[in-house]
Amino acid sequence: MPYVIGSECIDTTDKSCVDECPVDCIYEGDRKLYINPRECIDCGACEPVCPVEAITQDRRVSDENEAHVADNRRFFVDPLPGRDAPLGSPGGASAVGRLGVDTELVAGA
């Protein structure tokens, strides 16, 4: 997973990163945004535009946000609450729209 969105995004979801992403790989949960690790091309365009500095490379994530590395992946590979199947890699966030649900880590924050 090249980039990950940390806890700073919870209840902020500015979406500047969504507008900047050239491959449409940033998906909207309920309280946070998530980067699809299979769709991200590791370009880094999202990182500098985040006003709360929530985006970083997975290998440079702060200790505070270490849990968000695995959690970001879970958003796509595990079924989310109220869904029968994992989201997977649908090929672009704009086609899916706002999902309105988060992982347990974010929902419980």
Residue 80 has what pLDDT?
94
| Average pLDDT rounded to a whole number, residues 21-32 | 97
Write down the pTM of the prediction: 0.94
Q: What class is the 3-95 domain?
A: alpha beta
Q: Give 40-58 pLDDT, tens digit per residue.
A: 999 999 999 999 999 999 8
> For 58-66, which contacts have Cβ atoms below 8 Å and span 24 or more sequence positions?
58/1, 58/2, 58/3, 58/4, 61/4, 61/6, 62/6, 64/6, 64/7, 65/4, 65/6, 65/7, 65/8
Q: Where are the domains of the chain?
A: 3-95
Residue 13 has what pLDDT?
84
